[in-house]
Structure 1
Amino acid sequence: MVLYLVRHGRPILDPTVPASTWVLDPEHEHQVADLATQAPWPDDAVWFTSPEPKAARTAFLLTGRDVPVVEDLREHDRSGTGWVPDFVDVIREAFATPYSEVRPGWEPISRTRSRVADAVRQIVAEHPGRDVVLVGHGTAWTLLAAELTGTEPDLDRWRTLAMPDVITVE
């Protein structure tokens, strides 16, 4: 069984609304189509997506169909704050202090890690022996990969993830 953790395509950045509501940038949807032509996953893989619009649209573009949504695959919750100009620094702080709310309304990274890992363990248990493709987000996938491999989150990999991109966990 292999997990394919697909990071969504490039969204339209709108600092006036929460990132969880951002949609894919139509001008960059061809990058998702390019990823589909290089798909490392088998045709019979089981698919699930985060509920966020950018992830659900990426999943649709990769499969040509609606993909089941799993609420707990959503990204690290960063509600309560608007645009964060020093985003990379703040995320580094969140990873360094995983049990803290580094900004008002932000989910502690440890909670994101547990939430996503629990959801994925349930998916895997419900589909034994099947390869699984999950479409979601960079921070959530970085935390999940660390949880499943028993390693520290790879922040350098997180920083260099493309939109879209794939992390494979065997």
Structure 2
Amino acid sequence: MRFFPRFRLKVANALVRWDPSNTLIIRLVPPAKEHLDYHWGERAVQMAWELVELTELMAWLSTLGGAFSALGNYQPACADTAGKISLHQMKLAFRLGDPALVARCQLYLAISLIQRAEFVAAKQIIQRVYRHERRQTEPETRLLKMCQGIWSKLRYEYDPHPRNTVRK
């Protein structure tokens, strides 16, 4: 009402002359100039573009990380690179504010640790993510299945039987 003094005056006059038998008709007329917060609009557009760019970057890193992870089964240097990529993905996931995405990035890091035979660290990550997800009111099935699958990979790789793959 502070922006529309004419409207305020008309309402005040109508209320002073108010008679219960009369009908009050209020006609709203749009103002000549809209009061918009252009600075906030610019900020909102910038935030939306940043979200789009971060999401696209996340997709590229996911593709690249998956490729290095696949090679990491045979080349230890590729497993190291996949681990670094998963850390970059985790930073982006924190910035996006998506806890499920952060957890998936942690699991990608666990895969890299398994490939580098760092089984204890991988085990801790998998267990932490699994327990945290189980405590949620609505646990994400995808994350739980990922934890179970990576746990199976950990058990397979940790098995002391000789493998055909070469480790450093």
TM-score by length of 2: 0.29
Structure possessing the higher relative contact order (Cα contacts under 8 Å, 6 or more residues apart): 1
Higher relative helix content: 2
TM-score by length of 1: 0.28
Higher relative strand content: 1
